[in-house]
Structure 1
Amino acid sequence: MPSEQQRQQRLAALPTYRSPVWLKGGHAQTIWAKTRLPPAPPYRRQVLTDSTGQTAIPYDWIDTDCADAPLLVLFHGLEGSSHSHYARALMQAVAERGWQGCVAHFRGCGGIANTAPIAYHSGDSAEIGHYLATLRRLHPQRPLYAAGVSLGGNALAKYLGETGDAALCDAAAVISAPVDLPAASVALERGLSRRLYAPYFLHTLLPKVRAEAAQYPPFDLNAVLKSRSLGDFDNAFTAPVHGFADKNDYYRRAAAKPLLRHIRKPTLLLNAQNDPFMPAAALPRISDVSEQVYLHQPPQGGHVGFVSGSGRGHLRWLPETLLAFFEFETDPS
């Protein structure tokens, strides 16, 4: 196990994050990142199935001619896809590095409708395990690295904590994940966060649920369609459909934070201190995590923002940071 000094040395070797001097505040840094959308990488789509075997799942690949290059899989955030700003930026960097890349979509994301009797949620660590097992089967010889963003990051961290040494990836990165879901849910119910982010996500969530309602266990569709916040949605849909008593039971049982001390694979846990989705006071501390977890908490960056550089800025800092962290596993020297 690495010592605390070794962990700090490894973190110190990562690129320093600096936002553009004019881009101030967590909300601005979160929203502006979406305007920096890079060109689409050269994806190759493969359609497989989820863990239930009842719905199709798109895997969008970045291919390489190097047979032993690492494979980096990305698990996206709520209503994300391979075309989210962070996914394009990371997979473009993967292509430039000559690695194999993959964005594995959650049910109903990536342009393929969900036909399973369940959807996806922050605590679905079993689905993460299914995806990683699929990738191990397809590429048994490659080092396998996993990155999860926001919702996908919490699910990945939960999986890592639950499986310990048996986790199927060699290393991981968890980015802007609301690992303290109860605290994050309160933050998203308040003030500007509620007004900004709830309409953004509900714009796509509500039509999906309306279209797919017949395939799910019983729930109150009218209550879902009246949702005005993510808490409303989770209480009316996510909780009853996935076996939770209510939203608070869901947030408590799905949160990855209590499991972080059980992670046994090298894991970068990256959260900006001004992330609107995750209060700084709720961010994990050294006492909350195992010796294999590297806490990186820059003061700025927003929620999966991390725009850097001058002028209008760019999104290269996050991919460069993740690849630098994973390259240490490939070549520790």
Structure 2
Amino acid sequence: MGFALGKLGNPPLSKASFSSRPVNLPLKQPAASENTSLCALLELHCPSVLSPFRPVWWLFNGHLQTLYAALGDFSVVDPVAYDRRLLQTKDGGTLGLDFTPPASDRVLPDETPIIVVLHGLSGGSHESYVRAILAPAVMPTHQGGLGYRAVVVNSRGCAGVPLTSPQLYSSCHTDDFRQAVLYISHRYPRAPLLGLGFSLGANVLTRYVAEEGEECRLVSACALACPWNLVTNSAALHGRLLNRNIYAKGMGRNLRRLVSRHVDSIMKFPDSRLAQSLPELFSRKSLTLAQFDNLITVHAGGTSPLFPFKDVHHYYTYAASHQVLGDVRIPFLAINSDDDPMVKHVPMYETDNEWVILVVTRGGGHMGWFGTTGNVTRRWMTQPALEWFRATVEKIDVPRRAVRNIRVVDGWLVESGREHLGCRDNGEGGRIEGRMIQKGMLAGL
């Protein structure tokens, strides 16, 4: 394997890895006869990706960046409103698809590019890190935005989505996202789709893109703060006193509270492993992320045959996304920080895939990246993501893929060869104000 490793800034503050075998992609008009590589595209059209991240002076390490992301008040920052559609899956589950801008606010052409978003561990469309990118992404071009559409895929039970089956979500269950992309692609067949994932959602996005390979319906993807090697990172997260007591227990507490909101629904399935695990879950005074996953996720985090896993180690080993990067076949940008207290392993030198660019910033924490623009504290990650999406959808022609045919069978939207999967529109879920606060939940994780 070969890499072009760039240490950028003076002193060097970021590093990026590119393949030694750059893929050449045709540029759109007026230079349609010319080709470019992803590396050249990044340098020319995504300058902020390769510019150093400079943290605001009072958030000078990863813990401060991460805790500010979790505890700061962002209720009046980057307001985003959504129209919710409830999507039912064949196994009885429900997803909440939040579309922005709402139809009552602005009507967009059907061919408008769509950013399809996967949130973090127990989050949703309300999270400040989601709104930090979507607010300018859907803003009209005459106001300085991209003028795109966006859809946040809220996982089962998250962000006010009802839990209608005894199954939750996990780092490796990609079928829910697959059904959401299928629905969006069917509803807007002329719109290019762009994938955006945060933290756990970045892991799911990476695995989805890799599993789809040449048949991927997305034009490009951006993964932010992906946890990658879940075995290594879980050991670091749970093996250090500060990380275990603040982050691992904080995420475990979030997940237990999420489950507690759906107890009545879960008890409609008394024979399920999820229902049978509730007494032990609520008997514990506190539990870490790994303890929750070992008790709940390994059994209820997805469908058979993958689930159930023997234990949390087998689940983390399978779910790790760094091992599937070689199968990605669309432009794929991943950004991590080198002081993320939850992610200690980033696969910078472990793949030579010409479709993948990995960037590690000096500083930024987990889903933080708070810097200063003028006198305003803003997330640095916003501009790189927006530049990447605009470059990959407006500047180059990503090869058209031979994707699976979509059909309606007995009222279910299905793909050829995947008839065991399927989804259908279950109606409106109302207008969602993105600034809502999930009480009792530690945000930003």
Give 2:381's aligned amino acid.
L
- Is the contact between residue 65 and residue 368 of structure 2 (CA under 8 Å) also seen in structure 1? yes
In structure 1, the residue matched to 2:107 is: 65
Deviation of residue 14 (structure 1)? 3.2
Deviation of residue 99 (structure 1)? 0.7
- Indicate which of 190, 193, 196 corresponds to 2:243: 193
Cα distance in 2 for residues equivalent to 1:200 and 1:40 = 26
Cα distance in 2 for residues equivalent to 1:9 and 1:19 = 27
After TM superposition, the score normalised by the length of structure 2 is 0.69
- Indicate which of 323, 327, 332 corresponds to 2:390: 327
- The 5 Å alignment of 1:112-131 reads 112-131=161-180
**Aligned with 1:29: secondary structure?**
helix
- Indicate which of 232, 242, 248 corresponds to 2:291: 232
Give 2:214's aligned amino acid.
D
Cα distance in 1 for residues equivalent to 2:194 and 2:299 = 33
Give 2:128's aligned amino acid.
H
Aligned residue pairs: how many? 329
Cα distance in 2 for residues equivalent to 1:170 and 1:330 = 7
- The 5 Å alignment of 1:97-136 reads 97-136=146-185
Which consecutive unaligned segments of at least 5 residues does structure 1 have? none
Q: Which moved more, 1:53-62 or 1:166-175?
A: 53-62
In structure 1, the residue matched to 2:404 is: none
- Is the contact between residue 129 and residue 168 of structure 1 (CA under 8 Å) also seen in structure 2? no
- Is the contact between residue 267 and residue 292 of structure 1 (CA under 8 Å) also seen in structure 2? yes
In structure 2, the residue matched to 1:217 is: 273
Q: Percent identity, aligned pairs only?
A: 28
Cα distance in 1 for residues equivalent to 2:81 and 2:294 = 39
Matched, 1:262 2:321: no
Cα distance in 2 for residues equivalent to 1:108 and 1:75 = 14
Give 1:78's aligned amino acid.
L
**Aligned with 1:172: secondary structure?**
strand
- The 5 Å alignment of 1:35-50 reads 35=72, 37=74, 38-49=77-88
Cα distance in 2 for residues equivalent to 1:283 and 1:207 = 30
Cα distance in 1 for residues equivalent to 2:55 and 2:165 = 41
Cα distance in 1 for residues equivalent to 2:360 and 2:133 = 19
In structure 2, the residue matched to 1:89 is: 132
Structure with more strand by fraction: 2
After TM superposition, the score normalised by the length of structure 1 is 0.91
Deviation of residue 47 (structure 1)? 1.8
Give 1:42's aligned amino acid.
A
Deviation of residue 299 (structure 1)? 1.3
Matched, 1:18 2:75: no
In structure 1, the residue matched to 2:367 is: 304
Higher relative contact order (CA 8 A, sep 6+): 2
Instruction: Specify whether residues 267 and 55 from structure 1 end up closer, same or farther in structure 2 by C-alpha distance, changes over 3 A only.
Output: same
Give 1:65's aligned amino acid.
V
- Is the contact between residue 80 and residue 109 of structure 1 (CA under 8 Å) also seen in structure 2? yes
Cα distance in 2 for residues equivalent to 1:83 and 1:95 = 15
Give 1:77's aligned amino acid.
G
Matched, 1:157 2:213: no
- Is the contact between residue 213 and residue 221 of structure 1 (CA under 8 Å) also seen in structure 2? no
- Is the contact between residue 286 and residue 295 of structure 1 (CA under 8 Å) also seen in structure 2? no
**Aligned with 1:54: secondary structure?**
coil
Structure with more helix by fraction: 1
Matched, 1:76 2:119: yes
Cα distance in 2 for residues equivalent to 1:55 and 1:7 = 38
- Give CA deviations for 1:111-155 in whole Å, capped at 9, x if unaligned: 123121210011111222111111101111111001011111101
- Indicate which of 26, 40, 63 corresponds to 1:9: 40
**Aligned with 2:370: secondary structure?**
coil
Matched, 1:290 2:353: yes
Deviation of residue 308 (structure 1)? 1.4
Which consecutive unaligned segments of at least 5 residues does structure 2 have? 1-20, 25-35, 140-145, 301-306, 397-445
- Indicate which of 222, 235, 253 corresponds to 2:318: 253
Deviation of residue 312 (structure 1)? 6.3
Cα distance in 1 for residues equivalent to 2:299 and 2:85 = 31
- Give CA deviations for 1:134-191 in whole Å, capped at 9, x if unaligned: 1101111111001011111101101111111111111101110111111121122122
Deviation of residue 3 (structure 1)? 4.9
Q: Which moved more, 1:218-227 or 1:301-310?
A: 218-227
Cα distance in 1 for residues equivalent to 2:163 and 2:324 = 29
Instruction: Specify whether residues 158 and 289 from structure 1 end up closer, same or farther in structure 2 by C-alpha distance, changes over 3 A only.
Output: farther
Give 2:84's aligned amino acid.
R
In structure 1, the residue matched to 2:439 is: none
Cα distance in 2 for residues equivalent to 1:223 and 1:9 = 54
